[in-house]
Structure 1
Amino acid sequence: MRILVVTQHFWPENFRINDIVEGFVQDGLSVDVLCGLPNYPKGEWFDGYSADGPFEEVYKGARVFRAREIPRKGNTGKTIFLNYVSWPLYAAGALKRLPGGYDAVFCFNTSPVLMCWPAIRYAKKHHIPFTNYVLDLWPENLYSVLPVKNRFMRWVAQSVSDSLYRRCDRLIAMSGPLQERLCARTGKSTADVAVIPQYCEDFYAVPQHDAALEAQFAGRFNIVFTGTFTPAQSLDMVIRAVLDARAAGAEHLHLLLVGDGMSREALQKQAADLHAGDAVTFYGSVPAADVPRFTALADALLISLSDSPDLGLTVPGKLASYMAAAKPVLASMNGAGYAAVLESGGGLVSPACDQKALADNMLALYRMADAERAALGAKAKAYYTAHYRRAELLKRLEEFTVKGV
């Protein structure tokens, strides 16, 4: 089988599609990738890349074809918008560079929804099935990052999103509620909209103890967050909750933020204004394979989302990696993610943006005996084993993508 994978974001950027492509190749599929030039999340070209390429590479057995894009430098509303619209246009022009002969097309559709448009064009022209893995539901996810208020612009975003989803042959949702929403918006049946949660790479389940790193943060109760900093994560509320918990008696509570994103500068200013330097550390981005060094030293792992009913339709991919680490999950979110943590018994969960409830849960974890926290971590790991294992979910992705071919 020959598969064309379409995704704006790809290696060396840290996205799970990197591992999916590697898995496809390991399972005997011939894979070509159409993607962008790496600049996420800072909007700066990665070392070795520029607006002039390179435009063709090989990644772990897959051929990579890159299309230009306007980088999201500064992460302003304007640069993010230009980045969102530029890559699909450049990618559509790059379709003619592809060697062809594919049996199916697969899109790993994070934001923006527009990135699936070149995939749809190619699949329709060559009469091959197209499967869209919906990681960020649009336009709802757009509004969690950019506060679009203009009614006409919101109508345009809704119309374009619905049109693109309808034109996909098959859709993959991360949860049952998202499946229901996609079926309602597209008129498709559940036979064409599968529920396949995001898995996590196997290395997340293997602790990496780093003596120097652990010594750096020793003597603290470390709550670790890993990932991207955007308004959708409500990290400003999390910082305030940390200070509330410390004031209530958790004097050694410490929030370790590992990652980067459009909200970093504002969050650092907030921490400085609140004199939270001892309570919060901004570590910066690390390669995905290094994340277990940080989860290994964590006393708890934090996941948070803003108070949006639409964000509650999805289960963030990081939840799988957190559970794989066998550490208590501290969740502040609604919907499918809330339900998963609650069902697992592997942590404490509070409603999205409820600062007091999150601070209370931080204090409760802080005061728990080590054995109690270890028991929560064990339950989280058991839930990962039952629901988020790579081999099974990767196989389901492959079978659904090439179904009927």
Structure 2
Amino acid sequence: MRILIVTQYYYPEQFQINEIVPELVKRGHEVTVLCGVPNYPKGVVFPGYETAESLELREREYLEKTGVKVVHVEQVPRGKNPVQLVRNYVSFVRNSKKLVADSLKLRVESEAGKSQSSKLYTINCDYDLVLGYQLSPITSMYAALEYKKLTGVPVVYYTLDVWPVSAEGMLKSKRNPLMWPINKMSRELYQGADRVLVTSRPFMDYLHRVNGIAFDRMAYLPQHADTGMLGMDMSAENNGVADFMFAGNIGKGQRADVIIKAAKVLGKRKDYRIHMLGDGRMREELEQMVRAEGLEENVIFYGNQKREDMPKFYKMADVLLVTLRGNNEVGDTIPGKMQMYMTTGKTIFGAINGGAQEVIRESRCGSCVPAGDYEGLAKLMQLYIEHPHDYDQCGENAREYFKAHFTLEHYMNGLEAELQKVVDSKR
């Protein structure tokens, strides 16, 4: 297939699309990526991408290395304030749509002998379909629909963030006056896609109910994760202490406060520890909670760690903890850490709803309670402290489930089949 991928974020920004695209090329497909100038997450353009000349050099180097054509469009960097972020979103929409329209115009003029090809011509082969890698904001998909409008080529979304509910979190309320146009825009953008692939099954219910997407136009395709730890011996030392671990962003959406409240229920004891890896907006507040309860010996914060150092931290753990906000459909997702957790071969406890809860139960890799239920989580932790051998099979179950559902090969097989299905249906 000849595939145009539209995504606001791409290499060297760190998203899983960076692994997916080169794999499509290895499987024999011709792929062009239309993306913004990299500046995520710090809001500053990455070194080596600042000028048009440096962008062309990076694009040429990446093409030679991976076989992937990348075309960057200018965008206002994200910066560090809401106004700058909105300018970032708007500038990507404007410039990516313009690039699509200008490219098609140049092709027509070139075929008529009225102009010479230019750099814009590089996104102008006859694509079989457009794949929109749909993170937030949903506005990044306008360029995908622009190409469809001008050519009739079908569009598939791979949806990682569902809208408009994701916007509610940003605007703090469903009643914000801005939600009306966002609701309308989200519905129109989703309706424009020929097929929508989702990372969590509950997303389909939401998209059907809110955006009117028919169920037969959607499919479940969970994210993949790195397999590096699958073959490692990650057995924790038998130290007489139950070691629980949380790894990832410590923000409000992750509800890591539920873990600290569970520790408060368990109290100051010598038979358990909780290791908190990562950073985020709630870390300082949670550390203050720990100090206020005198739990410093039970709850230990480590901050961010290098990716290559993570196996040694995971090896310390007996049980991995996953929590997420459960007050809207965003909390129904399967967080990316879930798949990574499963590769370690550890028991997993969750205070979480939706797709992640389904995975824990289907795989029999641990236990879970509803999102926000810190007392229930404390009871699970107490059960493990008292009867750790009741969970001996959970780690192996996790790894087997991962191999059946979450490898890159499994993901690519599913994605390839879905894309081919759409292309065949339009012939």
TM-score of the superposition, structure 2-length normalised? Answer: 0.81
Displacement of 1:204 in angstroms is: 4.6
CA distances 1:101-147 after superposition (whole Å, capped 9, x unpaired): 12211111111111111111123212211100111111112223441
CA contact (8 A) 1:208 1:292 kept: no
1:27 paired residue number = 27
Does the alignment pair 1:100 with 2:124?
yes
1:335 paired residue number = 354
Q: Which amino acid aligns with 1:396?
A: G
Structure 2 distance, partners of 1:70, 1:219, is 54
1:326 paired residue number = 345
Displacement of 1:178 in angstroms is: 2.0
SS state at 1:331 partner: strand
Structure 2 distance, partners of 1:226, 1:331, is 13
SS state at 2:196 partner: strand
CA contact (8 A) 1:145 1:231 kept: no
Q: For residues 6 and 293 of structure 1, do their structure 2 counterparts lie closer, same or farther at Cα, with a shift above 3 Å needed?
A: farther
1:362 paired residue number = 381
SS state at 1:89 partner: helix
Unaligned stretches of 5+ residues in structure 1: none
Displacement of 1:312 in angstroms is: 4.3
Q: For residues 307 and 82 of structure 1, do their structure 2 counterparts lie closer, same or farther at Cα, with a shift above 3 Å needed?
A: farther
Matches within 5 A, 1:366-381: 366-369=385-388, 371-381=389-399
The sequence identity of aligned pairs, in percent, is 29
Displacement of 1:306 in angstroms is: 0.5
Structure 1 distance, partners of 2:167, 2:330, is 11
1:85 paired residue number = 90
CA contact (8 A) 2:244 2:272 kept: no
Displacement of 1:355 in angstroms is: 1.9
CA contact (8 A) 2:251 2:281 kept: no
SS state at 2:304 partner: coil
2:322 paired residue number = 303
How many residue pairs end up in the alignment? 392
Does the alignment pair 1:231 with 2:252?
yes
SS state at 1:152 partner: coil
CA contact (8 A) 1:207 1:295 kept: no
Q: For residues 351 and 42 of structure 1, do their structure 2 counterparts lie closer, same or farther at Cα, with a shift above 3 Å needed?
A: farther
SS state at 1:161 partner: helix
1:166 paired residue number = 191
Does the alignment pair 1:157 with 2:182?
yes
Structure 1 distance, partners of 2:287, 2:198, is 36
Q: For 2:366, which of 347, 368, 375 is the aligned residue?
A: 347
SS state at 1:165 partner: helix
CA contact (8 A) 1:174 1:198 kept: yes
Structure 2 distance, partners of 1:84, 1:7, is 12
Displacement of 1:310 in angstroms is: 0.9
1:71 paired residue number = 77
CA contact (8 A) 1:239 1:280 kept: no
Does the alignment pair 1:54 with 2:55?
yes
Q: For residues 334 and 266 of structure 1, do their structure 2 counterparts lie closer, same or farther at Cα, with a shift above 3 Å needed?
A: closer
2:110 paired residue number = none
CA distances 1:142-168 after superposition (whole Å, capped 9, x unpaired): 223441454421112211111100011
CA contact (8 A) 1:345 1:376 kept: yes
Does the alignment pair 1:4 with 2:4?
yes
SS state at 1:231 partner: coil
CA contact (8 A) 1:307 1:352 kept: yes
Which is further off, 356-365 or 25-34?
A: 356-365
1:398 paired residue number = 416
Displacement of 1:36 in angstroms is: 2.6
Query: Which of the pair has more CA radius of gyration?
Result: 2
Which is further off, 64-73 or 14-23?
A: 64-73
CA contact (8 A) 1:331 1:338 kept: yes
CA distances 1:238-279 after superposition (whole Å, capped 9, x unpaired): 33333443x153554122323x5xxx2442244146426652
CA contact (8 A) 2:206 2:329 kept: no
1:40 paired residue number = 40
Q: For 1:241, which of 235, 248, 262 is the aligned residue?
A: 262
Q: For residues 321 and 273 of structure 1, do their structure 2 counterparts lie closer, same or farther at Cα, with a shift above 3 Å needed?
A: closer
Structure 2 distance, partners of 1:189, 1:391, is 28
Which is further off, 292-301 or 191-200?
A: 292-301
Structure 2 distance, partners of 1:265, 1:313, is 22
Q: Which amino acid aligns with 1:40?
A: Y
Structure 2 distance, partners of 1:249, 1:181, is 43
Q: Which amino acid aligns with 1:395?
A: N
Unaligned stretches of 5+ residues in structure 2: 104-119
Does the alignment pair 1:388 with 2:388?
no
Which is further off, 248-257 or 228-237?
A: 248-257
Q: For 2:273, which of 244, 253, 261 is the aligned residue?
A: 253
Structure 2 distance, partners of 1:127, 1:33, is 19
CA distances 1:295-322 after superposition (whole Å, capped 9, x unpaired): 3433222221102231244322332222
Structure 2 distance, partners of 1:42, 1:294, is 26
Q: Which amino acid aligns with 2:70?
A: V
SS state at 1:203 partner: coil
Structure 1 distance, partners of 2:420, 2:414, is 10
Q: For residues 171 and 385 of structure 1, do their structure 2 counterparts lie closer, same or farther at Cα, with a shift above 3 Å needed?
A: same
CA distances 1:178-213 after superposition (whole Å, capped 9, x unpaired): 22332344544433212222222333524387xxxx
CA contact (8 A) 2:186 2:211 kept: no
CA contact (8 A) 1:77 1:146 kept: no
Q: Which amino acid aligns with 2:144?
A: A
Displacement of 1:228 in angstroms is: 3.5
CA contact (8 A) 1:200 1:388 kept: yes
Q: Which amino acid aligns with 2:219?
A: A
CA distances 1:76-111 after superposition (whole Å, capped 9, x unpaired): 544444444333333323434343212211111111
